[in-house]
Amino acid sequence: MLPLQKVAWFQLFVFVAAVVVALVLVSIGQAGIAWSAFGVLGLWGLSPILLRRSRGADGVFLDERDRAISRRASTIAFAASYAAFVVVCMASWAYFYGLRSAATVSVHLLTVPVWVAFSVVFVVRAVGMLVLYGGEAGDGGA
Amino acid sequence: MAELEITNEIRRLRFEADEMTQKELASRVGVTRQTIIAIEAGKYAPSLKLAFRIARAFGLGVEGVFRFDPDRATADAVSESKPE
């Protein structure tokens, strides 16, 4: 398995682990702190270590195809992340000011669109890389 | 999935070059073995720089290894623009 594939699987595993922890907290009646389970996503910060350890014996561990796949997956992920951010912001706005006619919203709500966008960019990038490594035709660009 | 319009003779050339392995070729041109596999299978078109490196590994020019197939490119473009 190539280094970026390992990183992608690791990031997906961390995301699934965070969702499972959140669901467990909700199921045991701790819905109030369930959001904190997404702190597990901080483990994504360990991805560079995984990359460093994946260096092959011949020293080649990332080549132009890896970079092309990473670039394409990042582009898709950024677009998805931006779309998710806008949708969450507008949905919140419609829900609180439209449906509930709220005069104000909690400041804590402001963090939600940010971490949703943050999660989407990592998850979509990871899935995108795995799909692209799966055999889509591409080119070196340069 | 549309195939690339660039075809190559890498598999044949490796065989003729003392049955050079994909790993050996990858090591010579500075990429991973998976990239060589993807190029051979026509799933990835290398950059010009890598194409030159691969050609040099066989002692050939780029056109001795890679070919641009305009018919395939035209066929892809026609099939993509054809209405359902």
Q: How is A56-79 classified by DSSP, letter by letter?
A: -TTS----HHHHHHHHHHHHHHHH
Contact B52/A at CB under 8 A: no
Provide the pLDDT for residue A98: 85
CA distance B9 to B42: 10
List of chain B residues with pLDDT < 70:
1-4, 72-84
pTM: predicted TM-score of the whole model, two decimal places: 0.77
In degrees to the nearest 10, what's the CA dihedral of A45, A50, A53, A57? -140
Contact B43/A at CB under 8 A: yes
Interface touch A137/B31, C-beta < 8 Å: no
Instruction: Give residue-wise pLDDT tens across range A104-126.
Output: 888 878 888 888 888 899 999 99
More reliable by pLDDT, A139 or A103:
A103
Provide the pLDDT for residue A34: 80
Q: Is B5 helix (H, G, I), strand (E, B) or coil?
A: coil
Provide the pLDDT for residue B69: 78
Instruction: Give residue-wise pLDDT tens across range A32-52.
Output: 788 788 888 888 888 888 777
Nearest to B44 among A2, A61, A65 (CB): A65
Q: Which residue of A has its CA nearest to B43?
A: A137
Provide the pLDDT for residue B1: 47
Average pLDDT, chain A: 84
Provide the pLDDT for residue A142: 43
Instruction: Give residue-wise pLDDT tens across range A83-103.
Output: 999 999 899 888 888 888 888
> In the numeric block, which tokens belong to residue B44?
């990835």
Residue A72 contacts by C-beta under 8 Å, 6 or more apart in sequence?
A128, A132, A138
Nearest to A137 among B2, B31, B47 (CB): B2
The interface pTM score, or ipTM, of the predicted complex is 0.74
Write out the H or E segment, with its range, that includes residue A22. Answer: helix A3-27
